[in-house]
Structure formats: structure tokens, C-alpha cells
Chain A
Amino acid sequence: MHIELRGITKCFGALRANDNISFAVPPSSIHGILGENGAGKSTLMKILSGFYSPDSGDILLDGKKVRIASPADAIRHGIGMLHQDPLDFPPLKVIDDFILGSKGNLIPNHKSATREFRELAARFGFSIDPESYVDTLTVGERQQLEILRLLWLGARALILDEPTTGISLPQKEKLFATLKKLASEGMTILFVSHKLEDVEALCNKVSVLRQGKLVGSVDPPFATGALVEMMFGKEIALEPKAQLRFGSNVLHIKHVDLEGIRIQIKGLDLQVRAGEVIGLAGMEGSGQTLFLGACAGLAQPVGGSFCLDEDEKDMTGRTYHEFRKHGVAYLPAARLEQALVPGLTLTEHFILSEGMKGLFIDRKKAEALAKSRIQVFNIKGRPDSTVESLSGGNQQRALLALMRDPLKLILVEHPTRGLDIESTIYIWNKLKERCARGTSIIFISADLDEILKYSDRVLVFFAGRVSPPLEASTLSVERLGRLIGGKDWETLETEAAHA
């Protein structure tokens, strides 16, 4: 399908999310859409897939002007969108999820659908059991299911929004091979990402968006520096990893047993020193979140003990509020669900997190505090902006700005998930500043590069098993990837026995 966008403009209030964007994508090609957070990529794709209507501008499919009123309308026109978080139904069987969006008879024909599912899956070398349940699939497999479903519904163009987030390396390779095969068969593919390497490896052409405008489109070979400059308007250098000397123990975990809903961790030992960064690697649901929550008193261990500080203050069984009082901060990944209060302003959040004392709110003091934090943390928002009106990157900055000072230990789930390079670097700079002042950090990430780049030591989680702390400097992405996938654990144990 030939897709052409002409002068697409979309405003949300005063914000021009898309500003007069025009470009065309021919059939049999993979077109990359690159841009930082809030550049307008998602808005543009949501317009193309019927979630939003543009304020002005036209969409032409195979040269014909069309109006796409809803996602169902989009799929009727042959446009299928694969969302960042798969829009599927975890409690359903794969085959039911597959059939769900199709038009047709009152009673779906399972037999023929299953046959067609197997044929399609075989064509791409996917091995998904149609009788298994969606919630037993990995994120990568759920993506595969979505691709199959959209193809079955007659998609002739696929939009993929950040598809490489949260999937393993082999799954990513599989995905790329599939996309290339589809393109060679005449499919039009729009690939939205902020990961340069993915775009470079895959795309025939790349369009870069910045602040709602199309900066330009480039053909391969792609020069990384040039792309970064187009995305940000400037080149960004990564901070070199500073070698810090660690202080005394901040957290001492002694032979802790934890029990989650579907996961058990037994006999975990760890000593975290002041200024140290510990990365927790593993597939989602391997026990990292349970462990991190337990370090903040959000989950209680069934055995062993947690001690804080040099003087080994026993915190086992204490509540989150007591951990918090002792200088432990917890930053959840679900920002609007677990960390911020939609409906309240930035100022009100600062008042709450500071625990300001007294009866009546000191508005002047609070506003001054909010203004200074907004400036220091470079948040794009006003003191009276509600948190839900901020973009994801700015919400994450707000979370950092809400942390109290000083802190002993910062626990972070996915500190930079879904953020662009600039925000990622910014957030880690802010976290490293804390380390330099003696704060320790334990963080979870699905991004192996992030784990290796920022951690001093790494714990790998696999189905409740936890590796001994591994020096990040001795690890490679490949080795870490194998450990996450459950390989090489025997050698790990022999190494530990020798050490």
C-alpha cells in the first residue's frame, strides 16, 4: 500500500503535537519514524490508525483520499497498528484473541481459524500454541500474535510503535527478519522508535520529527551523528562512567526469603555500599520487582533480615513509611498509577512529598519550592500543571524532583523506560549526582545496555533464582542475555564456589 500524508496538523490545547507533516511511504518498504519523547511520533501514528482525527491535512492510501474515523475503520482500510504495550487479552486463549477482532458469523469457526492461524504462523516460523493462554506468552510472542492477527484481518500496512522495548535479543532478531520478509512481499511498514541502532539496522528510509515538525527524511547509509543532531538539534555526548570509591554498608540483606504470587526467592544475600549502583536484570516477572519492593518495606520477607546503615539497624518487618523515614526512596514504573496523583498539581506534589508541617498550607513557600525544582530538574511544566498533563519524560523528571534530600538508598523500577536519549542521560546524571554524595541505587531495567552502562554490580533474576552479584565491568551483553534466558547458571555456581 502506498501511504501519503499531506500537511497533517494536530493540536492539543496550545501544544502543536503535529505541525504540517507531509511524507510518503511506498509499498515494499520499511520507513523509520525517529524522534525524542513528545516529538509527535505517537500522535502521528494514532492519526494514521484512527485513534485521533487530524485538525487539518489529508491521508491518501494508494492515491485515494480517505477519512479514518476509528481503529476499526483503519483496519478496514488495511492499516494495522502494533502498540508499544500489546493490546491483547491476557485471560483469553491465543486462538480466541486471534479471532476477536474479525467480522463475521455469530459463532466463530474455530476449526478454520485455527488452521489459518497455524498456516500463518508457519509462514513466519512462529511457534505459538493456539490453545495456550495469552498471559503465558512473552512480550515478544504477544507481538508475534498481534502481527498474525493484523495480517489475518487483511492489514496491508503495519505500524509498529517502539516494538523492541521489553523483548529479548533473539526475539528482536526474529521480529526484524519477519518485518523484512513482510516488506519483501509488498507490505508497507512504519517503524516508530527512538533507538538509533534499530532504525539503522532495519529501515529503507527514516523521517525525523522534532517538536511536532518533520525535520527531514534520510536515505541509508545513516550517519548516527547526523540523526542525533536532527532529533535533538544538537549532538549529545555520553558521560563516561566515573570510578567512584564506595563507602560503608547502606543495606545489608541477610539470607532473605521472599514469596510473591507466582514466584519464590530463597536465601538471598547482598551488601550494598554507599554510592554503589546495583542493576537488577531479568525477564519481567522473574522476581526483581518483588525484591525491590521488599527493600522498601512494600513487601515483607518470610525469612532473613534487612538491615540499614553501618550500625546495622534491623528493619525486617517494618513498614514502607519507616523505611522512607530512614532515607529510602521508591520510584515505581507505573508513574500515574503508583507514584503521582492525577488531578493534583506539581506544587501540590512537592508539598506532599516534603511533608511540610503546620495547619494551613504555606502557598508562597510551596510555589517557590515548585518553581526552583522545576528549574533544577528542567521539567516542561508550570507549578500549577497537573501531573497527567506532563509528558512521560517530564513525569519521570518530576518523580526525581520529588525525592527528598539526603537519601541513603534509591530504588527505581525502569528509570528510563520509554524515554528518549536526552531524558535518559539527564535522569542518570541526576541519579549519579546522588551516588557521588553517598546514596546507593538499586534499579530494575529491561534494557541490558542500561544495566551494563550504569551499574557497578548486577544481580540476574531467573524464575526466582538470583545470581551472586556480578561485576558489571566483567559482563557483556551476550553473557547477560544468556543468563537472563536461564543459560550458563551452572558455570556461575562453580565460579562462585571458586571465588
Chain B
Amino acid sequence: MRDSRATRLLFKVGAILFALIVTTGVLFLAKAQPFAAYKYITLGALGSWDVVTNVFVSWVPLLLATSGLLVTFTVGLWNIGIEGQITLGAIFTTWAMRLLEHSGWNPTLILMLAVLAGMLGGALWAMLAGALKTFGGVNEIFGGLGLNFVATALNIWLIFGPWKRPGVASMSGTIPFDRSLWMPIAQGSSRLTPATLVMAIVGILVVYAMIEGTYFGLRLKAVGKNARSAHILGIPTWQYMMSSFAVCGIFAGVAGAVQVTAVYHRLIPSISSGYGYLGLMVAMLVGYRASLAAPVALFFAALNVGSIQLPIVLKLDSSLAGVLQGTLVLFVVLGQGVRSRILKKTKVKS
């Protein structure tokens, strides 16, 4: 077997097929009709203009998280703490909104400041994980995971404590903001906010340009591929790791801000909606390359949105999308491993 574009594509297609087979198997086990399920997922994601706009609503925070993770993956870090960074972004955004909602300032200005506050929150939380790694010798995976739990606890405490609804605290979150302080919604749509769409698209373009075209990006790559050599070549390695944490935190913070200002219009307990973990899967699926992140994130968003209807129409849990996404990543990564093994063998044999 030769290493070519064709064989690579073959393995990708094979991975998708295997993922579908496994998911179908799971559906059979659940005594459901697989094809009906796939049909409803497709309809749920593409069936009407309204659901298509919903896919984009879900795409925005997912792509933002993925963009940030591409930066930390480039420098060789596994920023699993992104969930907490999204949460802190949401908390800081909510804090700014609460501070300014009765100020009488221009709503656009307030929203901009709120997003900036989100960036700050995400970046600070990410740099905390970075500082734990750099100065405390705590692996970023363990530090990040720990900080995720702290972020969740902090969020719940705020919702049930200082920021609780007057009268009774509720799992449904804080009081929604005034409609004038919602991210402006596109005409003819119920939820789509063009401003956040722009943020996501600009974000992934910035990350692509940063990694592929800037000195900063090249140095990140060098540190990621061999930190010791990078140090000898004159790159201050820990500063670059910290900066990549900060950049990823900023993106996560924006994702959190979008969740608060454009999706829920308040702070809710599960404000990150798992977009951080999903972003990790998207980044793995695209092999840490920025060029494919946008379409793959869109596909994942479509699966998420498409499966929302499943409980109603088929009495199936909507986590089916997660099964499909998880097995897909698993088989693609497995395919890469198998492919390189076969390539190595044929190289020795030939």
C-alpha cells in the first residue's frame, strides 16, 4: 500500500462507515429503527430554515472552542480545562452585564464590554492552568480537569447564591437580561445572531493565519515538537506555553460570552454545554489542522441539533449524537494508527 491522498481518503471514509455501523448496532440494541433515527437526525438538522439556523447557533461556540484548542495543541498542550475556561468566560460576561444593565449605556457598547470581560475570564482561568503547569509542575490535563470542577462549583454557587433570582433560586439560572441587551437576532430567524457568526469566522481565520503564517505560530510549533531544542534555539518556551494558554482562554471566553449573550441570555448551570470537550474531539478529528476545523465543527453541530428531536419522535435519547461523534473520532484516530502500521510494514517488505 502506498501513502497517497487516495489511501488517506479511503481510511477516512472507512472510519465514517465503521462509525455508522457501530452506531447502527447501538440502535439495534436499543430496539430502535436505525434508518428512522438517521432520517430524523437529518431532518432535524436540515429540515427547515429554522433548524439550519439552529445548527449555526451551535456551530459558533463549538468552532470558537476548537479554534482556541488548535493553538494549545500546536504548542503540545492538552488543554482539557477549556470547559472551565468557557464557564469562567460566561461568568465574567454575566458579571459585566449585571454591572452595566441599568447604566443606560448604549446596548452595543455594553455587549462589547461583556464579550471583552468574557475574554478576560477565560484567559485568566487558562493562565491559572498554565501557571500550575509552569511553576507548580502540575500536568495541564490534571490541572485543567481540577479547574473544570472548581469552575462548575463557582458557577452553581453564583446562580444559587449571590446572583439568584429574587424569591427562589432555580436550576434554570439567573434572571434573563432585558431584550434590549440580547445579541441582535437576524431578521426572519428565531435565534441566529450575525455578530457571533462573524466572531467565529474571524476567529478561525485568525488562528489559521497565526499558526501557518506568523513567527509566533512557528515558534509555537517548534516548542510543541521539541521544547528542549526550541529552548536552545533561543525561544523562551514557558512564555510561549503561557501565551498559548492565554489565547485559547480568550477563545473559550468568547464562547462563554456567546452562550450568555446570544443563546441563553442568562447564566445557567451547564453554560458550557460540553462544547469544550466536543471541541477537543473536533480538533483530534481534523488532525490539529485549522483548515478543516470549520466544516467538521459544522457537521458536529448538525448532529447535535439534529438529534434534539429524537426523544420526541422516536423516544430515543438525544445523546445518540454523542455516540456517533465519539465513535467517529475513535475510528478516525484508529484508522491513522492502523494506516501508519501498514505503511511501515509495506516499507519493510518492499
Chain A positions within 8 Å of B, measured between CB atoms, are 52-53, 55, 320-321, 324, 330, 332, 336-344, 348-349, 351-353, 355-361, 402
Residues of A within 8 A of B348 (CB): 52-53
Contact (Cβ within 8 A) A353 B234: yes
Contact (Cβ within 8 A) A341 B219: no
Task: Name the distance in Å between B226's Cβ and chain A's nearest Cβ.
Answer: 4
**Can you offer 6 A-B residue contacts whose CB atoms are under 8 A?**
A53-B348, A336-B229, A338-B229, A344-B222, A348-B221, A352-B218
A324 to B233, CA, bound (A): 9
Contact (Cβ within 8 A) B234 A360: no
Residues of B within 8 A of A320 (CB): 231-232
Task: Name the distance in Å between B202's Cβ and chain A's nearest Cβ.
Answer: 16
Considering only residues 218-258 of chain B, those with a C-beta below 8 Å from chain A are 218-219, 221-222, 225-226, 228-236
Contact (Cβ within 8 A) A344 B234: no
Contact A349:B215 (CB < 8 A) given known A53-B349, A341-B222: no
Contact (Cβ within 8 A) A321 B236: yes
Contact (Cβ within 8 A) B349 A352: no
Contact A342:B230 (CB < 8 A) given known A352-B218, A361-B218: no
Which of A52, A321, A344, A359 sits near B225, CB closer than 8 Å? A344
Chain B positions within 8 Å of A, measured between CB atoms, are 209, 213-216, 218-219, 221-222, 225-226, 228-236, 348-350
Contact (Cβ within 8 A) A356 B215: yes
Residues of A within 8 A of B233 (CB): 339, 341, 349, 352-353, 402
Task: Name the distance in Å between B69's Cβ and chain A's nearest Cβ.
Answer: 19
Contact (Cβ within 8 A) B215 A339: no
Which of A55, A341, A360, A402 sits near B350, CB closer than 8 Å? A55
A52 to B232, CA, bound (A): 34
Residues of B within 8 A of A330 (CB): 232
Task: Name the distance in Å between A74's Cβ and chain B's nearest Cβ.
Answer: 14
Task: Name the distance in Å between B190's Cβ and chain A's nearest Cβ.
Answer: 40
Contact (Cβ within 8 A) B234 A352: yes
Residues of A within 8 A of B216 (CB): 359
- Chain B, Cβ-Cβ closest to A331: B232
- Chain A, Cβ-Cβ closest to B232: A339
Number of A-B contacts (CB under 8 A): 69
A340 to B209, CA, bound (A): 24
Residues of A within 8 A of B229 (CB): 336-341
Task: Name the distance in Å between A55's Cβ and chain B's nearest Cβ.
Answer: 7
Which of A55, A342, A361, A402 sits near B214, CB closer than 8 Å? A361
Which of B213, B214, B218, B228 sits near A337, CB closer than 8 Å? B228
14 new A-B contacts, CB < 8 A, other than A341-B230, A348-B222, A356-B215, are A320-B231, A324-B234, A339-B229, A340-B229, A341-B229, A341-B233, A342-B226, A348-B221, A351-B218, A352-B219, A352-B234, A353-B233, A359-B216, A361-B214
A341 to B232, CA, bound (A): 10
Residues of B within 8 A of A348 (CB): 218, 221-222
Contact (Cβ within 8 A) A355 B234: yes
Residues of B within 8 A of A336 (CB): 229
Task: Name the distance in Å between B340's Cβ and chain A's nearest Cβ.
Answer: 15
Going nearest first, the 4 A-B pairs with the smallest beta carbon separation are A341-B226, A343-B225, A341-B222, A341-B225
Task: Tell me which of A330, A332, A342, A359 has the highest count of chain B C-beta atoms within 10 A of its own C-beta.
Answer: A359
Task: Name the distance in Å between A253's Cβ and chain B's nearest Cβ.
Answer: 21
Task: Name the distance in Å between B342's Cβ and chain A's nearest Cβ.
Answer: 16
Residues of B within 8 A of A358 (CB): 215
Residues of A within 8 A of B209 (CB): 360
Task: Name the distance in Å between B232's Cβ and chain A's nearest Cβ.
Answer: 6
Which of A324, A339, A340, A361 sits near B213, CB closer than 8 Å? A361
- Chain B, Cβ-Cβ closest to A11: B350
Task: Name the distance in Å between A413's Cβ and chain B's nearest Cβ.
Answer: 11
Residues of B within 8 A of A55 (CB): 350
Task: Name the distance in Å between B4's Cβ and chain A's nearest Cβ.
Answer: 14
Residues of A within 8 A of B228 (CB): 337-338
Contact A337:B226 (CB < 8 A) given known A52-B348, A320-B231: yes
Residues of B within 8 A of A352 (CB): 218-219, 222, 230, 233-235
Residues of A within 8 A of B218 (CB): 344, 348, 351-352, 361
Task: Name the distance in Å between A242's Cβ and chain B's nearest Cβ.
Answer: 30
Task: Name the distance in Å between B241's Cβ and chain A's nearest Cβ.
Answer: 15
Task: Name the distance in Å between B21's Cβ and chain A's nearest Cβ.
Answer: 34
A341 to B219, CA, bound (A): 11
A380 to B17, CA, bound (A): 44
Contact (Cβ within 8 A) A359 B215: yes
A357 to B234, CA, bound (A): 13
Task: Tell me which of B213, B226, B229, B230 has the highest count of chain A C-beta atoms within 10 A of its own C-beta.
Answer: B229
Residues of B within 8 A of A402 (CB): 233
Residues of B within 8 A of A321 (CB): 234, 236
A355 to B216, CA, bound (A): 11
Residues of B within 8 A of A342 (CB): 225-226
Residues of A within 8 A of B214 (CB): 359-361
Task: Name the distance in Å between B147's Cβ and chain A's nearest Cβ.
Answer: 29
A344 to B217, CA, bound (A): 12
A275 to B35, CA, bound (A): 79
Task: Name the distance in Å between B339's Cβ and chain A's nearest Cβ.
Answer: 18
Residues of A within 8 A of B234 (CB): 321, 324, 352-353, 355
Contact (Cβ within 8 A) B349 A332: no
Residues of A within 8 A of B349 (CB): 53
A337 to B227, CA, bound (A): 9
A55 to B230, CA, bound (A): 37
Residues of A within 8 A of B232 (CB): 320, 330, 332, 338-339
Residues of A within 8 A of B350 (CB): 55
- Chain B, Cβ-Cβ closest to A343: B225
Residues of A within 8 A of B236 (CB): 321
A332 to B232, CA, bound (A): 9
Residues of B within 8 A of A360 (CB): 209, 213-215
Task: Name the distance in Å between B108's Cβ and chain A's nearest Cβ.
Answer: 29
Residues of A within 8 A of B231 (CB): 320
Task: Name the distance in Å between B228's Cβ and chain A's nearest Cβ.
Answer: 5
A53 to B349, CA, bound (A): 6
- Chain A, Cβ-Cβ closest to B228: A338
A324 to B232, CA, bound (A): 9
Task: Name the distance in Å between A216's Cβ and chain B's nearest Cβ.
Answer: 29
Task: Name the distance in Å between A401's Cβ and chain B's nearest Cβ.
Answer: 13
- Chain A, Cβ-Cβ closest to B348: A53
- Chain A, Cβ-Cβ closest to B229: A341
Residues of A within 8 A of B230 (CB): 341, 352
A339 to B226, CA, bound (A): 9
Task: Name the distance in Å between A43's Cβ and chain B's nearest Cβ.
Answer: 13
Task: Name the distance in Å between B311's Cβ and chain A's nearest Cβ.
Answer: 46
Which of B213, B215, B221 sits near A344, CB closer than 8 Å? B221
- Chain B, Cβ-Cβ closest to A399: B232
Task: Name the distance in Å between A70's Cβ and chain B's nearest Cβ.
Answer: 10
A55 to B349, CA, bound (A): 8
Residues of B within 8 A of A356 (CB): 215
A351 to B221, CA, bound (A): 13
